[in-house]
């Protein structure tokens, strides 16, 4: 056993990595906040869309047969227009031979423009009681409505029965609709019609307090005298008949321009106008009726010359109301375009995810059958000694276990422990452990802190053999691991071998989640990539290389934070074959806290992006390099970056559907996807001969762990897009992963 140490007696200057650490740490918090803001923005858009479609909060309970004992008789028996002056309610009736034509539930992009076209053709004004959510979605129609000389009133924001709502909900429904009108047409209104209302004799003890409260705030509540019942779709003739008042009586007439199929209404409207005009009737708005009663003025017959009087309920929106209204309309427009785009993205992501599962199952099965044939062989057995390089930085908890596992190796090895400037006595512990184990094949090399790539390169330079095995200082090997790992080198085309990394500390919730991920997400993937001859990563915990191949590509690069992915791609580009040896198992200590897990996966994700960008020219290369660029790189980008980045759409839409649409259907869909994942995971566990009991943690993993991984990847993407640089994060280890003999599966 030999030791190399640096010079002593002077204070070490901070390394390049350490100098960058402070700068990187200052930049990460804003990027985390930005990632969370993106997620919050997406959630807000979905919630806004659901609210606009009345799929949330739309409590549509309608009373039936309630008492009206608290409603004044003059209101029940009065006219259809109720106003409050000085705290007293007064009613207004529509004069004889006068029609106040009203439409509810709009605007609708299909039917409302047709209604407006008919009204303009016949020079007839009308009053539209609009739903605020629809106004915010179709502001242009409302502006045309007002510009044409029609009047608008509020029909709540989500078409909810206000009789059962709190004061805060009532205020919100009215205020939001006013804002929508301000943003769409630059006005507010004093007219109101409650959803599910009809004639005044239907006012009861539940609804009367609502009308009183709104009346005291300046609203005029509008009811009907004659209901066309067009929503029943009884036929054109019946709609015309039912909308016609008896004799020469005036009436507030109800029709609908939205809320369902209104083709019959569109067909009936011109016939109705012609019929009523033939009977000598005049059409006006609700404000026109009120003004006529108050002033005795005559209605403008068949023209729009009295537009100002006909729109007397309108108020010009100014100040904060106007700007808030415009902001609402813009936000809704964003939601209207975003949600369909997200829906299309969901389809793409869903197809990609399902395609990946199918590809993994098919190719993993084929890989397993190929490698387990009786006649399969890499070639003559590899029995010559190899060098095992163990980079170590403050690994006092783990290094002794690592060396103890190597002492049991069934393959001849030399061990080089490269202490990368540890301050916890890692070198001394390594030497003591080697002496205690009687190991004479261990060399401990100390260097100033320069990072893991530099430590590995130092080990490669000092290696005595042509095959080097690289492992982490917190990892333990099984006795047969090295022998299994180096057998593929019997094939002269093989330049590197990826081993099978296992989670040793799997008896915690976080450990079990990572165990599932390692078996399914990593090793099942590697079988697929191996068969396609485009392995993207040799895990840092267990990998083997031809020494000459490592030197040929310039060693382990410090250009990225994923030196394992970087050198793997470099091997492909150099024409070396990279394979997966599932029988070579290593047990590693996975992060034991969410904070450490975030740090590790953040570095992995960001480093992978760096490596892919660094080797982007492989897309246009010829030969083996081009093969990886045109097969491996697209698969990595699609499966490890693009799909995971957009995979939250599945969860967002699932939650959206559960809350706003159909809880049962959404739940069944989620369970179906979970079932597919369980099948894939169970097959991966079978191939790796793992116990199935850990799969009981998979539903919880999908609800919590997977979402965290999405955020990590989004965070990494933001860092990459903003040109950030990360430092190497040292994880805190406990040394709880002992030698393989003590690790239970």
Asked whether the bond before 731 is cis by omega within 30 degrees of 0, the reply is no
| Cα(643)–Cα(56) distance, integer angstroms | 29
Phi first, then psi, for residue 265 (nearest 5°) are -65, -45
CA-based angle 114:120:124, to the nearest 5? 110
Burial-class residue 531 by CB neighbours within 10 Å (0-12, 13-18, 19+). Answer: buried
Contact 435, 427 (CB under 8 A): no
Contact 636, 613 (CB under 8 A): no
Tokens in use for 346? 């969901």
Question: For 262, which DSSP code?
Answer: -
DSSP bridge pairs for 99: 251, 283
Residue with tokens 């807000």: 44
Question: For 446, which DSSP code?
Answer: E
- Residue 502 CA: distances (Å) to CA of 349, 413, 478, 488, 498: 29, 22, 11, 20, 13
| 3-class SS of residue 442 | strand
Length of the chain: 745
Set 256, 314, 411, 572: catalytic member: 256
Contact 170, 213 (CB under 8 A): yes
Three-state secondary structure of 50-104: HHHCCCCCCCCCCCCCCCCCCCCHHHHCCCCEEEEECCEEEEECCCCCEEEEEEE
Q: Is position 715 annotated as part of the catalytic site?
A: no
Q: Is position 515 annotated as part of the catalytic site?
A: no
Burial-class residue 121 by CB neighbours within 10 Å (0-12, 13-18, 19+). Answer: exposed
| Cα(104)–Cα(265) distance, integer angstroms | 12
Strand 251-256 and strand 98-104: the pairing is parallel
Q: What share of the chain is helix, strand, coil (3-state, %, to 5)?
A: 55, 15, 30
- Residue 129 CA: distances (Å) to CA of 132, 189, 209, 222, 304: 10, 10, 21, 9, 20
Question: For 619, which DSSP code?
Answer: G
- Residue 169 CA: distances (Å) to CA of 161, 410, 426, 730: 11, 74, 65, 52
Neighbours of 145 (CB within 10 A): 27
Contact 589, 505 (CB under 8 A): yes
Set 104, 105, 161, 474: catalytic member: 104
Distance of CA 329 to the CA centre of its chain: 24
DSSP readout, 169-238?
Answer: HHHHHHHHHHHHHHHHHSEEE-EE--TT--SGGG--TTTHHHHHHHHHTT-EEE--SEE--GGG---HHH
| Cα(737)–Cα(745) distance, integer angstroms | 12
Residue partners of 391: CB distance under 8 A and separation at least 6? 418, 420, 452, 455, 456, 459, 470, 472, 473
Neighbours of 235 (CB within 10 A): 13
Three-state secondary structure of 685-709: HHHCCCCHHHHHHHHHHHHHHHHHH
Query: Residues 591-598: contacts with CB within 8 Å, 24+ apart?
Result: 591/510, 591/514, 591/731, 592/505, 592/508, 592/510, 592/511, 592/732, 592/734, 593/510, 594/510, 594/708, 596/731, 596/732, 597/510, 597/514, 597/708, 598/708, 598/712
Active site residues: 104, 256
């Amino acid at each position: 056993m030999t030791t190399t140490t640096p010079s002593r007696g002077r204070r070490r200057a901070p390394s390049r990595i350490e100098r960058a650490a402070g700068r990187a740490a200052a930049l990460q918090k804003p990027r985390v906040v930005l990632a969370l803001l993106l997620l919050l923005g997406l959630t807000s858009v979905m919630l806004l869309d659901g609210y606009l479609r009345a799929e949330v909060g739309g409590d549509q309970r309608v009373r039936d047969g309630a008492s009206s004992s608290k409603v004044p008789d003059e209101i029940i028996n009065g006219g259809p227009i109720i106003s409050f002056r000085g705290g007293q309610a007064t009613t207004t009736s529509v004069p004889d031979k006068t029609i106040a034509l009203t439409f509810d539930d709009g605007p609708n992009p299909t039917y409302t423009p047709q209604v407006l076209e008919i009204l303009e053709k016949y020079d007839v004004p009308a009053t539209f009681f609009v739903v605020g959510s629809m106004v915010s979605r179709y502001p242009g129609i409302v502006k045309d409505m007002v510009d044409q000389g029609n009047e608008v009133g509020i029909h709540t924001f989500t078409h909810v029965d206000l009789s059962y709502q709190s004061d805060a909900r009532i205020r919100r429904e009215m205020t939001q609709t006013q804002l929508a009108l301000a943003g769409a047409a630059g006005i507010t209104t004093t007219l109101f019609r409650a959803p599910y209302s009809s004639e005044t004799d239907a006012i009861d003890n539940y609804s009367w307090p609502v009308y009183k409260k709104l009346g005291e705030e300046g609203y005029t509540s509008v009811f009907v005298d004659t209901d066309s019942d067009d929503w029943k779709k009884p036929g054109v003739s019946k709609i015309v008949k039912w909308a016609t008042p008896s004799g020469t009586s005036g009436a507030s007439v109800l029709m609908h321009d939205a809320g369902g199929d209104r083709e019959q209404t569109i067909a009936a409207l011109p016939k109705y106008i012609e019929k009523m005009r033939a009977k000598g009737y005049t059409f006006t708005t609700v404000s026109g009726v009120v003004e006529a009663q108050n002033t005795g003025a005559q209605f403008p017959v068949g023209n729009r010359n009295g537009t100002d009087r006909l729109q007397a309920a309108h108020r010009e929106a100014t100040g904060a109301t106007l700007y808030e209204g415009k902001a609402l309309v813009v936000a809704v427009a964003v939601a209207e375009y975003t949600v369909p785009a997200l829906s299309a993205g969901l389809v793409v992501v869903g197809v990609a995810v399902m395609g990946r599962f199918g590809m993994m199952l098919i190719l993993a099965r084929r890989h397993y059958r190929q490698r387990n044939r009786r006649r399969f062989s890499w070639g003559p057995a590899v029995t010559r000694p190899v060098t095992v390089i163990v980079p170590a930085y403050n690994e006092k908890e783990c290094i002794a276990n690592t060396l103890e596992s190597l002492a049991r190796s069934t393959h001849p090895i030399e061990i080089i422990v490269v202490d990368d400037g540890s301050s916890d006595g890692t070198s001394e512990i390594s030497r003591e452990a080697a002496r205690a184990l009687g190991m004479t094949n261990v060399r401990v090399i100390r260097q100033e802190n320069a990072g893991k790539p530099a430590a590995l390169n130092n080990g490669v330079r000092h290696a005595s053999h042509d095959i080097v095995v690289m492992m982490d200082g917190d990892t333990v090997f099984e006795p047969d691991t090295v022998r299994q790992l180096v057998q593929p080198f019997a094939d002269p085309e093989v330049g590197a071998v990826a081993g099978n990394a296992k989670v040793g500390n799997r008896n915690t919730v976080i450990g079990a989640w990572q165990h599932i991920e390692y078996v399914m997400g990593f090793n099942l993937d590697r079988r697929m990539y191996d068969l396609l001859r485009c392995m993207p990563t040799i895990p840092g915990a267990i990998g083997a290389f031809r020494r000459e191949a490592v030197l040929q590509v310039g060693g382990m690069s410090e250009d990225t934070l994923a030196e394992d992915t970087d050198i793997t791609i470099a091997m492909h580009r150099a024409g070396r074959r990279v394979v997966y040896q599932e029988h070579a198992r290593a047990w590693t200590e996975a992060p034991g806290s969410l904070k450490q897990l975030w740090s590790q996966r953040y570095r992995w994700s960001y480093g992978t992006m760096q490596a892919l960008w660094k080797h982007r020219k492989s897309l246009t290369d010829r030969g083996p390099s081009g093969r990886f660029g045109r097969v491996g790189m697209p698969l990595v980008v699609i499966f490890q970056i693009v799909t995971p980045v957009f995979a939250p759409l599945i969860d967002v839409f699932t939650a959206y559907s559960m809350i706003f649409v159909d809880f049962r259907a959404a739940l069944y869909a989620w369970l179906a996807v979970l079932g597919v994942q369980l099948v894939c995971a169970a097959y991966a566990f079978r191939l790796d001969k793992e116990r199935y009991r850990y799969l009981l943690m998979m539903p919880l993993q999908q609800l919590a762990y997977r979402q965290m991984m999405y955020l990590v990847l989004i965070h990494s993407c933001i860092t990459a897009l903003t040109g950030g640089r990360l430092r190497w994060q040292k994880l805190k280890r406990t040394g709880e992963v002992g030698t393989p003999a003590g690790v239970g599966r």
